[in-house]
Structure 1
């Protein structure tokens, strides 16, 4: 981890304090600068989640990535800052019906802040998830107008998860999977079991290769904006700020590549954009 190059990538000139405010500052800068994307999958490039490969892709080459890449980079950066952390695995519930039990295809971080446990997540593509203390009922509001809360739920190891993250806010500040109402909606559930690197490798392999899933059938990207959120689902571009949303279709590979660079912080050449199945 070259922490100076990482900070340059996310637009920070110096290391923030090792505090909850500092954690929030790094995470917000990360999510506003390094877009979430799965484009390596439809391009047939594969996804590696070891530290060196992730740094080379997201920092050196200026690409984005999805949760297993984003939170590998984020974990390495937090470790370099002196913040002890470890990965957790979660089941994403955003946009799913009641009673559906999805596999554990999302990773987030458990961070030790002066002896207190916090969750931190720079890799959730559906909406912005701020750092939260691991406390039943913990709540925080974000700049997109949404509230977020943690609830202690089922028993450890249960399918429903030991903890449940929920969000209440405008659907326009999500990737389109948020319900149109602003009531509390589940984002994901997780427990605190230890997660080995091979557990992450297995989840990453399933997520990036399983036929018929979101990441193997769509080209997606998202990024956090000041007061809002932007997302791409195939050629549909949605941008929401301060409760108002705009939607338009991307017509050409050149426009797509330019939008990725200007809005999402993702460097993808026009030639590679043209190879995506949405333009083939």
Structure 2
């Protein structure tokens, strides 16, 4: 039996619904777009080397009550529980992140995403892919270009494997590759353990933050903040110190920054590390 939400009413309210909506494609589109705007992608826990628990009550507490965001294992697990509560046919699958990797690289399956069936059609649904998160469901059984409230995407297939591409600055770029093998609870626990604890994980000791809005994406990495608007040149600006980073997290991304005695020192160490600025 899949885990059930304990505070579905609050979750739905945050997503703009005071009553459970019907499990239609239109509802799914609205929920996905709203989710990426309300709940930011953020890796503060990884930056602070804190545990990232995956039990549903812990994720609900973090996102719904503590004013935080999370990464794919948190965001998509919570969204999956909501979709199942609303009556959607939905399950978890996993992907290898290809963005920024060499053409022949074979990274581990460390990205959690969702497969949702609506009206007999299968859709890729993802609310946890950082600065390039798709903001609409994407039909699985077509290689045609698919529009979203932000960039166009397309899905190509080679045998049993699918690859998600996004059009960025006029070029098609690979995002991740996936198959349709269901991800059991233990698969998700293992993937999350790698992402949150392994020294080779790109999230360890890193701060990556992203949020969407109508016609824009906002990201934060070690290079500062970037604001990408559809049809306009991107804006970028540096963050001078830990105080500026925390202010941006609060004001630019709506995150309630956790009280932690070493937060300022950890942020300063991260800023000086020359870490990747991608979000």
* 1:195-274 to 2 correspondences below 5 Å: 195-234=183-222, 236-242=224-230, 243-269=232-258, 274=263
CA distance in structure 1 between the aligned counterparts of 2:110 and 2:34, rounded to whole angstroms: 24
* 1:138-149 to 2 correspondences below 5 Å: 138-144=144-150, 146-149=151-154
Q: Aligned-residue CA RMSD in angstroms?
A: 1.9
2:76 counterpart SS class: helix
CA distance in structure 2 between the aligned counterparts of 1:246 and 1:276, rounded to whole angstroms: 27
Alpha-carbon deviations, 1:232-269, whole Å to 9, x = none? 11361111112321111122333322322332232114
1:55 counterpart SS class: helix
One of 9, 12, 15 as aligned partner of 1:10: 15
Q: Do residues 118 (structure 1) and 123 (structure 2) align?
A: yes
Alpha-carbon deviations, 1:24-83, whole Å to 9, x = none? 110110000110011101213210112111111111111010000000110011111111
Q: Which segment drifts farther, 23-32 or 114-123?
A: 114-123
CA distance in structure 2 between the aligned counterparts of 1:251 and 1:235, rounded to whole angstroms: 10
Q: Do residues 136 (structure 1) and 124 (structure 2) align?
A: no
Is contact 1:239–1:247 with CA below 8 Å preserved after alignment?
Answer: yes
Q: Do residues 38 (structure 1) and 32 (structure 2) align?
A: no
| TM-score relative to the length of structure 2 | 0.87
List gaps (5 residues or longer) in structure 1.
Answer: 157-161, 171-181
Is contact 1:148–1:165 with CA below 8 Å preserved after alignment?
Answer: yes
Report the Cα offset of residue 135 of structure 1. 0.7
Report the Cα offset of residue 128 of structure 1. 2.7
Report the Cα offset of residue 222 of structure 1. 0.6
Query: How many residues get paired?
Result: 262
| TM-score relative to the length of structure 1 | 0.87
Q: Do residues 61 (structure 1) and 37 (structure 2) align?
A: no
Alpha-carbon deviations, 1:120-144, whole Å to 9, x = none? 1011113131311221314322233
